[in-house]
Amino acid sequence: MSSNAISMEPASFNHRKGLPIAAVLAILSAGFFVVIALATGESAQLSLQGIVGLLQRMVALGLVAIGQTFVILVGSIDLSVAALISAVAVLASLLMQGDPAMILPAIIACLGLCLAVGLVNGALVAYGGINPLIATLGTGLIIQGVLAASFADLQGAVARQFQVLAYGGMLGIPYSVLLLALLALAAAFILNKTLFGARIYAVGGNPDGARLAGIHTERLVLAAHVIASLFAGAAGLYLAARLQSGTPWIGRDGIYDLESIAVTVIGGTILAGGKGGVAGTLAGVLLFASLDASFNMLGIDAFLKQVLRGGIVIAAVAIHAVRYKGHVA
Amino acid sequence: MTIIPALHMAGISKTFPGVRALDCVDFDCRTGEVHAICGENGAGKSTLMKILGGSYRPDAGEIRLNGRLVHLTHPRQAADAGISIIHQELSLLPYRTVAENIFMGRELARFGLLDRRQMNKRAAELLRRVGADIDPEGQVSTLSIAMQQLVEIAKALLLDAGILVMDEPTAALDERDAQNLLSLIRGLREEGVAIVYISHRMPEVMAVADRVTVLKDGQKIWTRARHAAPVPEIIRAMVGRDLKDFYPKRPSSGPGKVLLSVEGGANAALRDISFDVRAGEIVGVAGLEDSGKAHLAQALVGDEPLSAGVMRVNGKPVSIRSPRQATAAGIGYLPGDRKRDALALRQSVRDNALLTLRSMAGFFARPQRAALSPAAIDSELRDMDVRAADFGQEIGTLSGGNQQKAIIVRWLAQASDVLVFVEPTRGIDIAAKAAIYQTMRAFADAGRGIVVVSSDMPELIGIADRILVMHQGRIAGELPRGASEEEVMRLSLGIAQQEPREAFA
């Protein structure tokens, strides 16, 4: 047998040298904000204060969306986050009743609730085999129903000291923005640098392949749901601090469930799972925040704002679809 | 025998609803041995290996590794026990790097932190070992299928397993990569790995196997040393079975005018497809799972349209880009996966039989009149002897044979000229099979034509007037009536093509 020396062509990778999606999106969003600020003469928006204000708009949605990114990466989805945010905000103000001594117990209780909801969601999806849309819609409805039945009005208020989370800061940067930055970095670190992160991508990218590679896929789906719930809890606590007391409708009115999914997908995380990351999600949140701020500067009314946002979501996802196709072909 | 084999599976049985996939199969593989498993599609090879891999649990039987009894309930356990499996279906992550894929589930990490440098380095070594020049940091989705296959093989080598199972590892590889792989296998054998090698490709089995086991219909036919198992013997064991005489008689008259012809047809899965179907004729299409035979059926009915070539119906060139155009041109389709592609399981027998008529009817057609009326379709269903308590009952409650008959009625009602059957009797009992063959023959005798794609060789030989055998997307040859299974198998395996003594590579 003559195996002649084979001159293999080097496998050609078309590493796209362009900027990553997250950077492109962030630059576009920031650019849009700057242009509108200049065009409307609201140059105060471009001061440090204005920019901090823009970043602060990102906090609540940003926290939820980071959690949502984990579940979407494993190929699941979480529609219960909006209701959970409301529940946490209500629970926090109910337990604190303005008493600073109750801050820590209230936070622990809230995160405990989130842990429980996350475990239920994860168990239903991973072990019960229930479609995540239905499972989390169901838990969300249950939470919302219990809230609506039990708490008609505002119940109590969070402690003054707790509101520092929303209104305090250091070096001119609000604690809330620092919290978002810290948690985002932690999430990105987990996804990119750790064993756990690698397996999250494996489970979402090819569930059967991951199973055959010996990964306990159910555990990872469960863990992702717990993470999403805990991040929703953080958002709920932040909102309670900002509004002083939680109402049963905070989460629903903010449309945090659907918007967190929207920004995650805009950021390049694919709904099927296995591709994407936190940086893209945050860029998506920045896009929404700068759109909101810009629409305010332009004095566009609330309904038209929704229409424009909807159009932008569709356009962003369509651009991904085109890019993806071009990439594969 | 004093040698304790590295792997010993004894009395393995596995039943799926309606199918006895494995029936008390014994199998063993020694260290430093390549043991090939041969068998037709559905013979039970993959099921046996899925049991070994911990994906399926056997109903009966035991597995011993080096004499030690093991119970494998999760792929993780199989891997920990030193069993590494290269699966037939690719199980890669398209958006992750090659190295991340190779280390999937076994990532190198310290305190939970990934050690990417080390992983890339080890991955590069493994890739070199399988003879693949692939950048470990490249994304898998940018690789060709053959390259991805090599990544799968590198992934399996990572485990340093004592037992390595390769399920059709060369399916996507070209000659050169396949040769590389075979020399890699010889090297692993030298190192004392027990290798189970599953392949349709006889030349490879002959080149690399020490022993050969033939499975058929879930049973082991025999295990022999390679020198005691010449290719014709293997093929005979793979196909040999009792032929029941329930195929209808063929008409004595020759076929009529050409109903359907394809010239130079090609698409992503097919090349150089030319053939015709005449009135009164049943044309069989044989081939292995990856031969493109299913793609041919889908091309004829516009599900995966041809991108080149000419198709003619009744002599007129037609462009068929969608199933609707195929239906309008008089071509009907009976898919192989009835439940998924042919039936609305929760709708009535009547609704299912009316499906095509209704979908082709004008928008303003009145749903209860003429051919669309329940009475008209009921009489057709009765003529076909579809057995249901009431044609209003859900079709999902009927037997496979009756479901298939209802689908035939669907196309008879549409008055199609050519029917494309895929696996016409898969999962259908013997009695209903005979009835379906009768119906097919009657359809052809009425001056119409049938293309039947099947993996069931006795069926093709029994029902078809001639058989086109496909191999790697082409028609490798045509066999007349009365061809033997050996002849069909030889063409399917691509052996006959090698006969013109071309220089070897």
pLDDT per residue, tens digit, chain B (505 aa), is 567 888 999 999 988 765 678 888 999 999 989 999 988 766 788 889 889 988 889 999 999 998 889 988 888 888 888 898 887 666 888 888 999 999 988 888 888 888 889 999 999 999 988 888 889 998 888 887 778 888 888 888 888 788 999 888 876 677 777 788 888 889 889 988 899 998 877 778 888 899 999 988 888 888 999 888 888 888 778 776 544 456 787 777 777 899 999 999 998 889 999 999 999 999 999 988 778 888 999 999 999 899 999 999 988 999 999 999 999 999 999 988 888 888 888 889 988 998 888 888 777 776 666 777 888 888 889 888 888 888 888 888 887 788 888 999 999 888 889 999 998 887 676 667 788 888 899 889 888 999 999 887 878 888 999 999 998 899 999 998 888 888 888 888 887 654 444 434 3
Contacts of B107 in chain A (CB under 8 A): 195, 198-199
Query: Does residue A242 carry a pLDDT above 80?
Result: yes
Residue ending a domain, among B415, B431, B460, is: B415
Residue B327 lies in a domain: no
Tell which residue, B234, B282, B296, B284, has the closest CA to residue B458. B284
Per-residue pLDDT tens over the stretch A44-100 = 777 778 888 888 889 999 999 999 999 999 999 999 999 999 999 988 888 888 788
Task: State which H helix or E strand residue B198 sits in.
Answer: strand B194-198
Residue B385 lies in a domain: yes
Query: Does residue A16 carry a pLDDT above 60?
Result: no
Structural domain boundaries, residue B410 = 341-415
User: CA of A214: which chain B residue's CA is closest?
Assistant: B76
Query: Does residue A5 carry a pLDDT above 50?
Result: no
**B107 and B235 share one domain:** yes
- Mutation target for A interface from B93, B111, B118, B184: give the one with most A CBs within 10 A: B93
Which of A198, A214, A274 has its CB closest to that of B95?
A274
Contacts of A216 in chain B (CB under 8 A): 74, 76
A128, A122 Cβ separation under 8 angstroms:
no
CA distance, residue A10 to nearest chain B CA (Å): 6
**B371 and B228 share one domain:** no
For Cα atoms A206, A208, A213, give the angle at the middle one, nearest 5 degrees.
Answer: 90
Q: Please judge whether A215 and B53 are an interchain contact, meaning their C-beta atoms are less than 8 angstroms apart.
A: no
pTM of the model: 0.73
Domain segments of chain A as ranges: 44-328
Query: Does residue A329 carry a pLDDT above 70?
Result: no
Residue B155 lies in a domain: yes
Q: Please judge whether B142 and A195 are an interchain contact, meaning their C-beta atoms are less than 8 angstroms apart.
A: no
Q: How high is the pLDDT of residue A190?
A: 93
CA distance, residue A221 to nearest chain B CA (Å): 15
- Mutation target for A interface from B95, B111, B117, B159: give the one with most A CBs within 10 A: B95
Tell which residue, A328, A177, A327, A302, has the closest CA to residue A242. A177
Q: How high is the pLDDT of residue B337?
A: 82
Q: How high is the pLDDT of residue B240?
A: 64
Which of B112, B135, B142 has its CB closest to that of A196?
B112
Pairwise CA distance, residues B283 & B293, whole Å: 13
- Looking at this predicted complex, what is its ipTM? 0.76
A67, A227 Cβ separation under 8 angstroms:
yes
Q: How high is the pLDDT of residue A119?
A: 95
Q: How high is the pLDDT of residue A4?
A: 38
Q: What is the mean pLDDT of residues A17-31?
A: 78
Residue B83 lies in a domain: yes
Tell which residue, B188, B173, B216, has the closest CA to residue B41. B216
Contacts of A215 in chain B (CB under 8 A): 76, 104-105
Percentage with pLDDT > 90 across chain A: 36
Residue B131 lies in a domain: yes
Q: How high is the pLDDT of residue A72?
A: 95
Q: How high is the pLDDT of residue A6?
A: 36
Judged on CB neighbours under 10 Å (0-12, 13-18, 19+), B146 is middle
Number of domains in chain B: 2
Which of A6, A11, A274 has its CB closest to that of B138?
A11
Q: Please judge whether A11 and B92 are an interchain contact, meaning their C-beta atoms are less than 8 angstroms apart.
A: no
Which A residues in the span 204-223 are in contact with B, Cβ-Cβ below 8 Å? 205-206, 208-216
- Mutation target for B interface from A206, A208, A320: give the one with most B CBs within 10 A: A206
Pairwise CA distance, residues A57 & B474, whole Å: 61
User: CA of B99: which chain A residue's CA is closest?
Assistant: A198
Which of B96, B113, B134 has its CB closest to that of A11?
B134
Which of B93, B113, B114 has its CB closest to that of A205?
B93
For A299: left if phi > 0, alpha if psi spans -120 to 50, otherwise beta; the answer is left
Residue ending a domain, among B224, B239, B254, is: B239
Q: How high is the pLDDT of residue A67?
A: 94
In sequence order, the β-bridge partners of residue B278 are B258
Pairwise CA distance, residues B218 & B196, whole Å: 17
Per-residue pLDDT tens over the stretch A101-128 = 888 888 999 999 999 999 999 999 999 8
Residue A10, chain B, CB below 8 Å: the answer is: yes
B180, B130 Cβ separation under 8 angstroms:
yes
Q: How high is the pLDDT of residue A19?
A: 62
Residue A323, chain B, CB below 8 Å: the answer is: no
- Mutation target for B interface from A14, A212, A219: give the one with most B CBs within 10 A: A212
Per-residue pLDDT tens over the stretch A114-169 = 999 999 999 999 998 899 999 999 999 999 988 888 876 666 777 777 787 888 88
Residue ending a domain, among B201, B218, B239, is: B239
Task: Count CB pairs under 8 A between chains A and B.
Answer: 102
Lookup: tokens for A4: 């002649």
CA distance, residue A212 to nearest chain B CA (Å): 5
Pairwise CA distance, residues B337 & B252, whole Å: 33
Q: Please judge whether A214 and B79 are an interchain contact, meaning their C-beta atoms are less than 8 angstroms apart.
A: yes
At the topology level, CATH places domain A44-328 in: ABC transporter involved in vitamin B12 uptake, BtuC (1.10.3470)
Query: Does residue A18 carry a pLDDT above 70?
Result: no
Q: Please judge whether A198 and B100 are an interchain contact, meaning their C-beta atoms are less than 8 angstroms apart.
A: yes
B297, B332 Cβ separation under 8 angstroms:
no
Q: How high is the pLDDT of residue B430?
A: 63
Residue B77 lies in a domain: yes
Q: What is the mean pLDDT of residues A263-268?
A: 89
Q: Please judge whether B92 and A206 are an interchain contact, meaning their C-beta atoms are less than 8 angstroms apart.
A: yes
CATH number at residue B54: 3.40.50.300
Q: How high is the pLDDT of residue A135?
A: 93
Which of A13, A274, A328 has its CB closest to that of B93?
A274
Percentage with pLDDT > 70 across chain A: 91
Residue B303 lies in a domain: no
